[in-house]
Structure 1
């Protein structure tokens, strides 16, 4: 075989975007998922597909615009707050924004996972488990408060360190 008849080195990577090993791994995982999916679904394929479709639509049409607008609002508040500071020691930067983003994300994730219990939308929970479902709202609120407090302390330490570094210069 002559050099002209061979595929030039790197052509596959440029065309596909990754190595051939990556393609083989993706195809193997896809094959494994296709093999196991019918066994895991237990005959309710249409119901599971509808839940996935509904989840994707709710995320893309409701949740994504909602948390994007909330994030932009937090960024705008951070920029306005930074104008009033004399030293601008990191308040408008990633530290301040992430001090709001991370606890909000984790609180939202906890709410998403536990919302039937937090909002008391489970009728037979007490009968099925023998436990009271009344504690979940307060436990979620405590978790949110702890997340916000830890994030606030983390931000305060980061701002203190940034201010100390600025004074040294």
Structure 2
């Protein structure tokens, strides 16, 4: 039965169950909001999200990712002797994704939209949003750079050990160049 369902559906039956649960939750939310003015706002937000993400943002960050990977491959092909052995692509993707997501989430605070309402509700200004976003972004790129450097050093050390291990000209107990 499970194999037949998987063959007909094209995926694991748990996937179908999860989708049905999501549709049930979405249906409940629509029924709960039906007739309220909030439903129109939710539908407008949903439509803007689809247009903003699927038609504008996704092609932009897919193009940026493709450019990054193609640039890495071109550099890799043109200078194979300087190849570090560890691709920096994922060490750039993750902080870029984090910075972009934080920017989207905190965009109203960064551009000080609704500053009077924010001040009335919290008693604070939106002044630190831009600086904090930049600081968190720099920290994410810094941590990523440290992790990349550690991974690169580990790969270099592994390559050096392998080359020395297979070098017949080296004396068996010559460890002077291991550091």
Range of TM-score over shorter length: 0.7 to 0.9
* CA shift for structure 1 position 33: 3.4
* Matched position secondary structure for 2:109: helix
Find the aligned partners of 1:85 and 1:22 in 2 and give their Cα distance: 43
List 4+ stretches of structure 1 deviating above 4 A. 19-22
Alpha-carbon RMSD across the aligned residues, in angstroms, is: 2.4
Is the CA contact 1:41–1:48 (under 8 Å) kept in the aligned structure 2? no
Structure 2 unaligned blocks of 5 or more: 163-179
The structure-2 alpha-carbon separation of the partners of 1:129 and 1:70, relative to structure 1 and needing over 3 Å to count, comes to same
2:161 — aligned with what? Answer: 168
Structure 1 unaligned blocks of 5 or more: 1-7
Q: Residues 1-169 of structure 1: matches in 2 within 5 Å? A: 10-18=3-11, 20=13, 22-24=15-17, 26-39=19-32, 43=36, 44-82=38-76, 83-84=78-79, 86-91=81-86, 93=87, 96-124=88-116, 125-169=118-162
* Matched position secondary structure for 2:83: coil
Q: What's the TM-score once normalised by structure 2's chain length?
A: 0.77
Q: What's the TM-score once normalised by structure 1's chain length?
A: 0.81
Is the CA contact 2:115–2:125 (under 8 Å) kept in the aligned structure 1? no
The structure-2 alpha-carbon separation of the partners of 1:69 and 1:42, relative to structure 1 and needing over 3 Å to count, comes to same
User: How many equivalent pairs are there?
Assistant: 159
Find the aligned partners of 2:119 and 2:43 in 1 and give their Cα distance: 30
* Matched position secondary structure for 1:107: helix
Find the aligned partners of 2:29 and 2:137 in 1 and give their Cα distance: 37
- Out of 31-40 and 138-147, give the one that drifted further: 31-40
Find the aligned partners of 1:118 and 1:53 in 2 and give their Cα distance: 24
